[in-house]
Amino acid sequence: MLKKITSLGLASAVTLFCATVQAQEKWDMPTGYPAANFHTENIMQFAAEVESASGGKLRITVHDGGSLFKANEIKRAVQGGQAQIGEIIISGYSNEDPVYGVDSIPFLANSYEEARKLWDASKEATQARLAKHGMKVLYAVPWPPQGIFSSKPINTTADLKGAKWRAYNPNTSRIAQLVGAQPVTVQAAELTQALATGVVNTFMTSAATGYDSKVWEQVKYYYNVSAWLPKNLVVVSTKAFDALDESSRNALVQAAAAAEERGWKTSTEKNQWYLEQLVANGMQVDDGSAELQAQLAAIGETLTADWLKQAGADGQAILDAFKQ
Ligand code: PCA
């Protein structure tokens, strides 16, 4: 009798447990950038929309600023199932596959319009590669255009020689080598610290990251050369995605579509504001000399040629589609 009651009790406990599990799926979402960054704000809204549209069945906890996994570890975390979903900067992984680096070749696609065209041309190839590693792309949002931050004035690339150059992906390291600077990979979350301790004094990124990292304390010049617009992708583990019920899956996909649209819009609109904040904090901001621009464009040609060699026929197909 006692045994019967116990097993009955266990059975109902199991039923109850399963019901709870079904009732709420809890996901962790690591990101690499700070809470006030526009990508992160967009992600927070995305997570809130997923929760409400799924009727509370899917709850995503956002861990910003590299707090759960460092920015460069997030892809592997989602791939390995330590996180169900995460935000990655796709060009950070171009050593794994050259296709991932196409959006950070200088002057290949350097306006929002061109960045959109390049994403349209490279989306399928990117998705296919991530799918092979068990991930789906939920949405993509570009950073504002990339310029050069420097502690001293830069007129030509010769002035970059010997600079302690902060890199955030393989292409930014390669650019450093081509201009004779010393590349040091530093994630955005550690940039303020790296500047304060003198580890770096020069780097290419957006006005957004310059603002987030309050770089004006060490760095006085920003050359708004608008060289490329790298993208952050929000990726989900295919296994975690497939395990959701249909309504949660739909909630996720719909919130992702809205986040993508919102993200492109905010990135475009907020860029000017970010530039103004640099000026307001005492930085000198200009477009860079014609010579500097031409030299960077030549580096872009070199990188494009290298990239085509590495990416082969798939790379050529992406460039052909982009140039159409
Ligand atoms: N900010 C990120 C990547 C590109 C950007 O604008 C960073 O500097 O790490």
DSSP structure class, residue 227: -
Q: What is the pLDDT of residues 58-88, one digit of tens each?
A: 999 999 999 999 999 999 999 999 999 999 9
Please state, in angstroms and as integers, the Cα–Cα distance from residue 22 to each residue in 15, 58, 170, following that order: 11, 10, 42
Ligand 1 atom closest to the Cα of residue 71 is: 9
Q: What is the mean pLDDT of residues 37-44?
A: 98
Ligand 1 atom closest to the Cα of residue 230 is: 4
Please name the residue whose Cα sits nearest to atom 4 of ligand 1.
205
Q: Which residues pair with 89 in a beta bridge?
A: 232
171 touches ligand 1 (CB under 6 Å): no
Tokens 């996180």 locate to 83
pLDDT at 11 over 60: no
**Whole-number percent of the chain with pLDDT over 70:** 93
Q: What is the pLDDT of residues 200-244, one digit of tens each?
A: 999 999 999 999 999 999 999 999 999 999 999 999 999 999 999
User: Which pLDDT score, from 0 to 100, does residue 1 have?
Assistant: 43
Ligand 1 atom closest to the Cα of residue 32 is: 9
User: Which pLDDT score, from 0 to 100, does residue 9 have?
Assistant: 53
88 touches ligand 1 (CB under 6 Å): no
221 touches ligand 1 (CB under 6 Å): no
172 touches ligand 1 (CB under 6 Å): no
Q: What phi and psi, each to the nearest 5 degrees, are found at residue 196? A: -65, -35
User: Which pLDDT score, from 0 to 100, does residue 22 have?
Assistant: 54
* For the chain, domain boundaries: 25-323
Reported CATH class of domain 25-323: alpha beta
DSSP structure class, residue 64: -
User: Which pLDDT score, from 0 to 100, does residue 52 have?
Assistant: 97
Ligand 1 atom closest to the Cα of residue 212 is: 1
According to DSSP H, which parts of the chain are helical? 2-23, 38-53, 74-79, 112-132, 170-179, 191-196, 207-212, 238-242, 246-280, 290-323
Q: What is the mean pLDDT of residues 5-16?
A: 50
pLDDT at 19 over 50: no
Confidence of residue 142 (pLDDT cuts 50, 70, 90): very high
Enter the pTM of the model.
0.93
pLDDT at 16 over 70: no
Helix (H, G, I), strand (E, B) or coil at 150: strand
Ligand 1: residue of 72, 88, 143, 193 to mutate (most ligand atoms within 8 A of CB) is: 143
206 touches ligand 1 (CB under 6 Å): yes
Confidence of residue 23 (pLDDT cuts 50, 70, 90): low
Ligand 1: residue of 206, 211, 213, 226 to mutate (most ligand atoms within 8 A of CB) is: 206
